[in-house]
Structures are given as structure tokens and as C-alpha cells.
Amino acid sequence: MAAQPNPSSHVGVTRQAAWPPPRRSRKVATCVFIALTGPGICLGTAACSHGSAKPTPTASSAVSTPAVSPLTGTGTAGRVLAVKIDNVGFAQREQTGLNSADLVYVIQVEGGLSRYLAIFDSAHAPARVGPVRSARQTDIPLLAAYGKVGLAYSGAISGLLPDLAAANLQNITPASASRLFSNGGSDPTYIKLADVFVAYPDLAEAKDVGLRFGAAPSGGQPAVSVSARMPSASFTFTASGTQWLVSVDGHAAMTTDQGRTSADNVIIQHVHVVPGKYTDHNAGHPDNEVFSETTGQGPADFYRDGKVWHGQWSRPATPRRPTTPSTARRCRWLPAAPGSSWKGRG
């Protein structure tokens, strides 16, 4: 999700005045709704240089015990499927299965609207997920660290199709597997995850993408809620015990099967959103499909257990590499609460 630079968006906390220097004329911040793929979050007020060392695994680390999912820090790990989910207008009242996602990326698309990239694994997949919509350029680098996982989507503009075909992904669409999509693949269309995992038994298993889990670190400031905006979308996360209840465009976000949409971790990751490679003409007028730059580093705000910590995110540009924490003297790895994560990107 995109938050404007230095908005008064935190209730009960003080916004850290930090923003990357302008590199292009268009930039916005992005909000990560529970979990981002790959970004490392380090605590500290100084800008952190990227290093190659990883934190030493501990008993609470998701990577210390292979039986524990490295995407949630709890339960077992399975094979991974990413699904593009509509988040505009009436589709917000048709969302199904979202609370079972390990991670949810909130991504800005054309017109300043939002779409979700939800990460599921076969170990605890919901019965049905959707409504499924089309892929975007931002999806490809976001999924690079996961290995050859499945990406289920309902289509894409013609210019992007060769990029999707060349990516290290198993593309799952109505064109390639129509039987897996309801309603003939027409909107609204849903998928049954059990059927997808049976049809694609070789999808990559959940792996370390840079997240760590454990007890909350010291410090942090009390946070009642946090709000973030894209040009045509708004999000509010309200603390409720150890969870964050999600509101979208001014109303409580609900699922058709699991009640109120919620998350265990929320990450506001500030990134640049720039013009994408392709333009969509399907609506009868040109709409540039914007691209979120999710490699590099920048400010991040991390929410868990009713508190916020300010720090930095970092992700190398090397394809398929997970994010590693900074080795700067004033930084330390920030563990997530075991459970689901939402990440927002502009």
C-alpha cells in the first residue's frame, strides 16, 4: 500500500521522519500487510548498509526446526501457491480464504487502486480462494525468492505474458487449466486450492525468504491503529489483542468464510512506485500498470502485539535471493510474531 511521505497516520505513535531520497519523479510508500516476501527489517535509527550475514538461528527462529513453516513460524510447511485477489468495489465483499494466507502483499495497480498477492501453502490451505484476478509486473520480483511456486491468476495484458512465461513460476490460469477455475474463468472466478495442489504436485515447498519469528524485542511504542493510503485506496489496521483488524476504503474488511480480515504482523514498507513497462488499454483508455521497486532499502514501520518499531527494510537485487539483515552496528534483526503477515507495497 502506498502511504504518502510523513503522513499523520499513526494513532498513539510518533512517525519517524525518514524517506528515501528522490530517484524518480513519482514515488510513494508502500504498506505491507502482515508479511512481505523477503524484506529484512532491522531496528535502529541509522541507515543500515546491507551485509551478507544472517542472524544466528535461535530456538524461536523459523529456520531452526525444518518442521516449522519458515513463512509463519508456526505449523508445518507445505508447497506454495500465490494467488492474485481482487480488491476493488464489490469484490471486497466477495473475498474468500484470505485469512488462511501465510502472507498477503498489498500492491498498487493502475489508477492508484490496490490488489492482493496472497501466499498459501498446502499444509493448511482453505477450501476456496478468490475472487481471482489478473497478474502484474510487480508480482514477478516479489515471488523470485520463493523458488518455482505456483502463481494463480485470471490473465494479464499481452505485453506482460512473455515475462510471466519466462519467470521462475508455474503459471496457473484459465487458459492453461480452465477446470481449476469456477465460472469458466470469468469474473468472479475462484479456485479450490486442494485441486490446484493435486494438479501441480511439483510446486516448490515453503523456504526461507528472510523472515524470522520470536518474542517481541524490547522497546517499541504503543500503537492503537495505523493507516496508509494509495492514491485511490485506503487501509487501516486496528490493534485487537495480538492481532490487527483490517479496514479497507473506510469499512471493515470481511471474508465470506472466515469473518473479519485480520493479521498478526503489519509492515509499512516505504518503496518507490514508478511507471511500469506496460500499458493497459482494456478499459478503452490507456492505463499504465505501475511497478513497485521492492529491491534496495528504505524506511519501514513494523507493527506487532499492539506496538510499533521503526527501522529499515533491505532486499538485494540479486534474483532469487532472500533478504538478509543489515550488519550495521546499530541494527538488529526484528522478529515477527508467529502467524500471518500482511505487507503493503505501492
**Domain CATH number, residue 140:** 3.50.90.10
Q: Is residue 90 part of a domain?
A: yes
3-state secondary structure of 204: coil
Strand 279-280 and strand 287-288: the pairing is: antiparallel
Does residue 321 surpass a pLDDT of 80?
no
Q: Is residue 2 part of a domain?
A: no
Q: Is residue 280 part of a domain?
A: yes
Q: Across 49-58, 105-114, 263-272, which has the greatest mean pLDDT?
A: 105-114
pLDDT category, 345, cuts 50, 70, 90? low
Q: Is residue 84 left, alpha or beta, with left meaning phi > 0 and alpha meaning psi from -120 to 50?
A: beta
Grid cell for residue 155: 490473465
Task: Name, in order, each residue with C-beta under 8 angstroms of 131's C-beta and a sequence gap of 6 or more.
Answer: 85, 86, 91, 94, 95, 96, 187, 188, 189, 190
Q: Is residue 145 part of a domain?
A: yes
Residues 185-243 have pLDDT tens digits of 999 999 999 999 999 999 999 998 888 889 988 889 999 999 989 999 999 999 999 99
User: What is the average pLDDT score of the chain?
Assistant: 78
Residues 58-86 have pLDDT tens digits of 334 333 434 789 999 988 889 999 999 99
pLDDT category, 296, cuts 50, 70, 90? confident
Residue range(s) defining the domain that contains residue 127: 10-345
Q: Is residue 3 part of a domain?
A: no
| pTM > 0.75: yes or no | yes
What is the identity of the amino acid at 108? Q
User: How many domains would you assign to the chain?
Assistant: 1
Q: Is residue 4 part of a domain?
A: no
- Give the per-residue pLDDT at 283: 65
Q: Is residue 5 part of a domain?
A: no
